[in-house]
C-alpha cells in the first residue's frame, strides 16, 4: 500500500492553509475564520480514504489468492500421492502426503511463516483487517479471511493427513480430503 502521494498532498494542503491564515490581519482573520474543514483537506482525505479502503479490498483479494494457490498446491500433491500409491511408491506417497498436510495447515494459518511475518508487520503498524471480528473472537489477530472456526477445521485435517503420511492409504486419504473440500467450500469459497 503506497500512501506517500496521498499523504504528501495532504501535507501540502495543510501547509498552504496555515500560510494563508498567517498572512491575514488579526481582525480580518477573526471575521473570515473558516468554520468548516478546508475543502482541499477534505478532498485529500477522501483520496486517502479511497486508497486505504482500496488497499483493504486488495488485501482481501490477495489473501484469497494465497489461499487458492495453497489449495491448488494441496490438490496437486494429493494427486501425486494418489499416483505414488497406485505405483506402489511408498516413499513418494509419504512425501506427497506430508506436503498435502503442510498445505492444508497453511490454509488454516492463512499462509506460511513468511506470510505470518507480514501479518505481524501489519499488526505492528496497527492494521487489523477484521478488528471487529477479532474483538468478537471470530478471527485471530491479523487474519483476513480465515476465521477461528475455519482455522480449527483445517488444522484438524492437516494433522489427520500428516498422521496418514506415516502409512498412506488411498481410501483414508480421500476421506480426509473430502473434509478439506467441505471446509474449503464452507469457509473460504463462501467468504468471497
Partner 1 sequence: MAAVAAATGSARPDAPEGPPASPPRGRFHFIDAAPRLGLTRVLEAGRPAKDHLLDSAGAGAAFLDYDQDGRLDIYLGNGWRLDGETVAVRGQHALYRQRTDGTFEDVTDAAGVGGNGDWGSGVAVADYDNDGRADILVTSFGRNALFRNLGDGRFEDVAGKLGIEAPGWNTGASFFDADGDGWLDLYIARYVDCTLDDVLKAKRTLWWRGLERVAFGPFGLKGAPDRFFRNVKGRFVEATDEAGLKDLALGFGFAARAADFDDDGLPDLYVANDSDPNYLYRNVGAGRFKEIGVTSSAAFDANGAAQASMGVAAGDVDGDSVLDLFVTNFSEDFSSLYKGMGQAFFEDVSRPTGVGPATFRPLSWGTAMADLDNDGDLDLVVANGHIYPQIDAHPELIGTYRQRNLLLENRSLRDDVPPGAPPETLFRDVTAAAGPGFEIVRSHRGVAVGDYDNDGRLDILVTALDSPPELLHNEGAAGAWLIVVCAIPGGPAIPIGAKVTVTAGGRTMTRDVASGDSYLSSHDPRAHFGLGKAERADEVVVRWPDGTRSVRKDVAARQVLVVRKDVAGAVPTTAPATRR
95 is a contact residue toward partner 1 (CB under 8 A): no
Q: How far is the CB of 54 from partner 1 (least distance, A)?
A: 25
168 is a contact residue toward partner 1 (CB under 8 A): no
Residue with cell 485529500: 44
Cβ within 8 Å of residue 139, ≥6 positions away: 129, 130, 133, 146, 147, 148
Find the binder of partner 1 among 159, 172, 179, 191 (CB under 8 A).
159
Q: What is the spatial distance between Cα 105 and Cα 77, in angstroms, rounded to a whole number?
A: 14
Q: How far is the CB of 74 from partner 1 (least distance, A)?
A: 12
How far is Cα of residue 172 from the mean position of the Cα atoms in its chain? 31
- 164-85-98 Cα angle (round to 5): 40
127 is a contact residue toward partner 1 (CB under 8 A): no
- 147-175-190 Cα angle (round to 5): 30
Q: In the chain, at which residue ranges do the beta strands (DSSP E only) sit?
A: none
Find the binder of partner 1 among 40, 59, 89, 140 (CB under 8 A).
140
40 is a contact residue toward partner 1 (CB under 8 A): no
98 is a contact residue toward partner 1 (CB under 8 A): yes
- Which residues of the chain form contacts with partner 1 (CB under 8 A)? 98, 101-102, 105-106, 108-109, 112-114, 116-117, 120-121, 123-124, 126, 140-141, 148, 151-152, 155, 158-159, 161-163, 166
Amino acid at each position: 500500500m503506497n500512501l506517500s502521494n496521498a499523504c504528501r498532498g495532504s501535507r501540502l494542503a495543510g501547509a498552504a492553509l496555515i500560510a494563508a491564515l498567517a498572512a491575514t490581519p488579526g481582525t480580518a482573520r477573526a471575521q473570515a475564520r473558516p468554520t468548516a474543514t478546508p475543502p482541499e483537506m477534505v478532498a485529500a482525505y477522501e483520496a486517502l480514504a479511497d486508497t486505504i479502503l482500496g488497499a483493504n479490498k486488495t488485501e482481501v483479494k490477495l489473501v484469497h489468492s494465497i489461499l487458492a494457490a495453497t489449495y491448488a498446491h494441496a490438490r496437486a500433491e494429493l494427486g501425486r500421492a494418489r499416483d505414488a500409491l497406485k505405483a506402489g511408491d511408498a516413499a513418494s506417497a509419504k512425501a506427497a502426503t506430508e506436503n498435502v498436510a503442510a498445505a492444508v495447515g497453511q490454509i488454516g494459518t492463512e499462509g506460511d511463516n513468511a506470510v505470518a511475518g507480514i501479518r505481524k508487520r501489519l499488526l505492528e503498524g496497527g492494521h487489523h483487517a477484521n478488528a471487529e471480528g477479532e474483538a468478537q473472537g471470530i478471527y485471530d489477530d491479523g487474519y483476513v479471511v480465515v476465521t477461528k472456526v475455519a482455522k480449527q477445521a483445517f488444522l484438524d485435517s492437516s494433522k489427520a493427513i500428516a498422521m496418514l503420511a506415516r502409512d498412506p492409504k488411498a481410501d483414508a486419504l480421500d476421506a480426509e480430503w473430502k473434509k478439506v473440500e467441505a471446509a474449503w467450500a464452507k469457509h473460504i469459497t463462501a467468504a468471497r
